[in-house]
Amino acid sequence: MTATTPYISMNPPFGSKERLQGFFSDTLAECNEDYNPQDVADAFVEVLESWIQYHQNSANAYEAIRTALSKRVSEA
């Protein structure tokens, strides 16, 4: 690996339709004839809910930092 070669392959590029297709293909490869389609749907919803909570927590932390910084600036 050279200094110009990224460690993580971005081919296909991050966020592209082709990259997402690869992830969905990997998920489907986990399913066999005995899989429960509801489990796949539930897993997707649970991951979405987890990401929503993560970003809400991050937004709350950023707001607290902004509030603290604004308070310090106004006291200066």
pLDDT means per 10 residues in the chain (76 residues)? 57 91 90 90 96 98 97 86
Q: Tell me what pLDDT residue 55 has.
A: 98
Single pTM value for the model? 0.65
Contacts of 18 (CB under 8 A, 6+ apart): 12
Question: What pLDDT is recorded for position 33?
Answer: 87
Rounded Cα–Cα distance for residues 16 and 11 (Å): 9
**What is the reported pLDDT for 48?**
97
SS3 content of the chain, % helix, strand, coil (to 5): 70, 0, 30
- Which pLDDT does position 76 carry in this prediction? 75
pLDDT at 52: 98
Distance (Å) of CA 38 to CA 20, 29, 35 = 21, 16, 9
